[in-house]
Amino acid sequence: MKMSDVFNLPVKDVVDVYGSVNILDALSECISDGCYDDFEKSAAHAINNHDRLTYENERLKNAMKDILYIVDDSTGVAGYHLNGDVADWDEFVEIRNANQLISELEGDEL
């Protein structure tokens, strides 16, 4: 759910929080036009940041899942130990942490 869809604020072109419009520039323009007081400006900023961060979090979670799928399809990293041994994925606390985080976010195991 996008918060900007829930609140009907005069955010002009700021609804495009995923890329092309800089929210601060748009808010500055709106403020100079006199359409915001401090509370409305803060609320619009928070709502649009929520939408942007929700979108970014979903993209980052999906990227992490894609990397973990590669991990699941392999046994480890060749060359990591510089002695010819393959470093098994279970040697890496980062992989365990990433799996745990995704499990918590998704509510299930990978």
Position 27 scores a pLDDT of 58
pLDDT digits (tens, 9 = 90+) for 80-103: 999 999 999 999 999 999 999 999
Beta carbons within 8 Å of 16's beta carbon, 6+ residues apart: none
**Looking at per-residue confidence, does 1 or 73 come out higher?**
73
Residue 15, CA atoms < 13 Å, CB-side half-sphere: 11
Asked if the model's pLDDT at residue 72 lies above 80, the reply is: yes
Write the DSSP symbol of residue 10. Answer: -
Tokens standing for 53?
Answer: 């961060």
Share of the chain above pLDDT 90, in %: 43
Would you give the distance in Å from CA 46 to the centre of its chain?
Answer: 16
**Looking at per-residue confidence, does 108 or 82 come out higher?**
82
Position 45 scores a pLDDT of 76
Asked whether the beta carbons of 64 and 102 are under 8 A apart, the reply is yes
Position 16 scores a pLDDT of 46
What is Dmax (Cα atoms) for the chain? 67
**Gap between the Cα atoms of 36 and 107, Å rounded:** 40
pLDDT digits (tens, 9 = 90+) for 24-53: 666 566 656 655 556 677 777 778 788 888
Nearest to 105 by CA among 54, 67, 52: 54
